[in-house]
Structure 1
Amino acid sequence: MKFIPSLQQGKLVRRYKRFLTDVLLADGQERTIHCPNTGSMKNCLFEGEDVWFSESDNPKRKYPNTWEIAQTDEGHLIGINTGRANHLATEAIEQQVIPELAGYETLKKEVKYGNENSRIDILLTAPEQPNCYVEIKSCTLLEDNSGYFPDAVTTRGQKHLRELMEMAAQGHRAVLLFIVQHTGIDRVSPAAHIDPEYSALLKQAANSGVEIIAYGTTICPEEIKVTHAVDVLLDECI
């Protein structure tokens, strides 16, 4: 996923009111930009470090700039725009970067399914094969040299796990795909210390036939792309 036009750079001043971020530009001016991450952004906010943001040409937007990448104190880069995860996953599937999801003829997005009024992120289909339901989550929380999901309690995420378990019970393929948008994360575990219910459901889902996979990304101001598999350790909890 290339950034066109190129991203602009600044220094993080603060994030506030959930959806707003102030950045300091090279000329000394401060600019308020949109923060597209609805989570807690735990361990993703490093005041004074570099950030990169995109610009929209939509004249109706109050804040035309969107925060895309953050840098940590240790120099790791984080893709903080959670809305990019689905695009990254789609691109990776179409380019056959994820072998577990290869071999399907059609890819549909945001398809209604399940008993709890849900929409699956990606539905893969092919003749004479079970449908493959793929739920995508963006992982950006790094603690004690390990990646964790979620970074805040997620009742929505819990619902998605229940829906996936139902699809698996019906004989379909059900896949939870973590897109790791943090260059310092090389393994992912459920964050039982943050959302014990989600952690328990994730382990239950794995035991019920839901496939849990994770893929990491390379990140730079020019592009973010899915490049490599990342270990999922369901019993590695803080």
Structure 2
Amino acid sequence: MKYGKIVEGKFIDRPNRFIAHVEMQGRPETVHVKNTGRCRELLLSGAAVRLEVSDNPSRKTLYDLVAVYKENIGWINIDSQAPNKVVKEWLKKQDYDLVRPEYTYGNSRIDFYMEKGERKYLLEVKGCTLEIDGIGYFPDAPTERGVKHLRELTQAVEAGYTCMVAFVIQMQGITEVRPYTAMQPEFGVAWQQAVDAGVQMLFLPCLVGRDSLQIVE
């Protein structure tokens, strides 16, 4: 997955979920944050950040904050739209007969439906940006939607689907993701129930480039 023009700056603060102030060329600039999660351990005053220049000159904010530098880890992509994009690219390299995004199952919209011969698959994608002591964790904020998806996939296994959750690890050097039960115990319970039912948890490490994100095979 490639971005357009990338520029760098220093994070100042984040007044709300959608915007941040970034120092660029010695002056503050209001930018759009492409992640509504908390990212409190990442978006620290003075942290180096990367921004994509918008190709829409009429936008109120001309930059999208897409990555931040974390000591001892390196650059972390925090673009919440990136995981689905890189998984879509990755799935094209697999040997599925059919790949369909945004598939409605039950009361949820699952990210991908695939077929291989007579076998049917459901795949939900989650982006992981939270790292603690060399381990990735999800979620970094309570997510009722995430719990709902795990329960839908658990039921789908019983209906004959092969079900997976793909955790796109948006940083380098991390190869495992665990449920962050300290943030949301309910998610940990739903995770274990899903695993016990046969839902597969896929950990997909990424190569984080200056203007790109790619799943490492």
Which residue matches 2:188?
199
Which residue matches 1:221?
210
Instruction: Please give the root-mean-square deviation of Cα atoms over the aligned residues, in Å.
Output: 1.4
Which residue matches 1:173?
162
Q: Where does 1:96-175 land on structure 2 (aligned, <5 Å)?
A: 102-114=94-106, 116=107, 118-128=108-118, 130-175=119-164
Indicate the SS of the match to 1:176. strand
Which residue matches 2:16?
17
Deviation at 1:32, TM superposition (A): 0.7
Q: TM-score, normalised by structure 2?
A: 0.95
Which residue matches 1:2?
2
Deviation at 1:134, TM superposition (A): 0.4
Alpha-carbon contact 1:46-1:71 (below 8 Å) kept: no
CA distance in 1, matches of 2:57, 2:158: 47
Q: TM-score, normalised by structure 1?
A: 0.87
Question: How many residues are matched?
Answer: 217
Deviation at 1:47, TM superposition (A): 2.1
Which residue matches 2:78?
80
Alpha-carbon contact 2:82-2:213 (below 8 Å) kept: no
CA distance in 1, matches of 2:176, 2:12: 30
Question: Residue by residue, what CA displacement relative to the aligned partner does 1:193-221 show, whole Å, maximum 9, x if unpaired?
Answer: 11111001101100101111111101121
Deviation at 1:40, TM superposition (A): 1.3
Deviation at 1:41, TM superposition (A): 1.1
Alpha-carbon contact 1:175-1:211 (below 8 Å) kept: yes
Aligned identity (percent) is 32
Runs of 5+ consecutive residues of structure 2 not aligned to the other structure: none
Deviation at 1:146, TM superposition (A): 1.3
CA distance in 1, matches of 2:215, 2:157: 26
Alpha-carbon contact 1:148-1:189 (below 8 Å) kept: yes
Which one is further off, 159-168 or 52-61? 52-61
Alpha-carbon contact 1:136-1:176 (below 8 Å) kept: yes
